Amino acid sequence: MGALRYAVHAYAWTSKWTKNALRLFGKARELGFDAFEVPLMDLEEVHPQDIRKEAQKAGLLVVTSTVLSEATDVSSPDRDTRQRGIEYLMRCVEVSAEMGALSFSGVLYSALGKRISTFPGQEYFERAAEALQKVARRAREFGLTVGIEPVNRYESFLINTCDQALELLAMVGEPNLKIHLDSYHMNIEENDFYTPTKKAIPYLCHYHLSESHRGIPGTGTVDWDGIFQALAEGGYRGIVGMESFAEVSDSMRAGTCIWRKMAPSSDVLLREGLAFLRELEKRHFAP
């Protein structure tokens, strides 16, 4: 058993979580994954006890994730919107705990894709921090880790880099609030991959190992050696994952901005990508 546990996001195969997606746990195990990432965007379709049962049957760990919309934006100036966001995140925490998830993470600090007309003032960070403090405290009652994921400038106006995520963590001040990195977004926003990865490790709970064009890892411009060197040097022992949209549906295309085929199939992308990542782990984590 290696140092890292590899997760696969359900969106590798499906654009919407339904009970039919439960069959994907077996597929993930067949492809060699250790964990499964369950999206909570369609929360009414998520049945945590069924997920827990299927995960246990397949011998997989579970993590969860979501994003906020403009209707649930916890950084919003509007009090009612913030309250809806807090209530939604609290429900996500409860569902994650019920299915036995190790962590719940994603864009939990502001609305995905929202644009504002100027740089965000400190009040946006303060409102997000106030909400996340409540959510993290609730999650701690279940022994659940909450992670915030920096994403690129086209998807968030608030948290784009590891340094910004660290600042928000300090404002919240809760020990179970961590960082979820994603190399696809880092390729746009960070100056390199090694430095932010190394900085994040004391607070790292998840890492999406996505290629610069979201294709097969190892075929783009991500500095994979820099990432794995930092993970190894920092002694990271936890979840990393593949977030792929190779078979993206028309309903997801506008959100993922994928307009060409990135691999022959999701299975090919995941199989070849996982083999590449495990080889990197062997090289960098070797005794």
Give dist(CA 154, CA 115) in Å, integer.
8
Cβ 232 vs Cβ 284: under 8 Å:
yes
Cβ 74 vs Cβ 107: under 8 Å:
no
In degrees, to the nearest 5, what angle opens at C-alpha 218 toward C-alphas 1 and 15?
A: 85
Has 149 been annotated as catalytic? yes
Please name the helix (run of DSSP H) or strand (run of DSSP E) that holds residue 250, with its range, or none.
Answer: helix 250-256
Going by the DSSP 8-state scheme, the letter that residue 45 receives in this structure is: G
Has 54 been annotated as catalytic? no
Give dist(CA 25, CA 31) in Å, integer.
10
Length, in residues, of the chain: 287
Which candidate in 37, 54, 149, 155 is catalytic? 149
Which candidate in 189, 243, 247, 281 is catalytic? 243
For 47, half-sphere exposure in the C-beta direction (CA atoms, 13 angstrom radius) is 9
> Taking the C-alpha atoms of 181, 65, 110 and 205 in order, what is their torsion angle to the nearest 10 degrees?
-30
Give dist(CA 84, CA 111) in Å, integer.
12
In angstroms, the Cα distances linking 126 to 56, 113, 224, 254, 283 are 39, 20, 34, 31, 42
Give dist(CA 108, CA 85) in Å, integer.
9
Residues that are catalytic: 149, 243
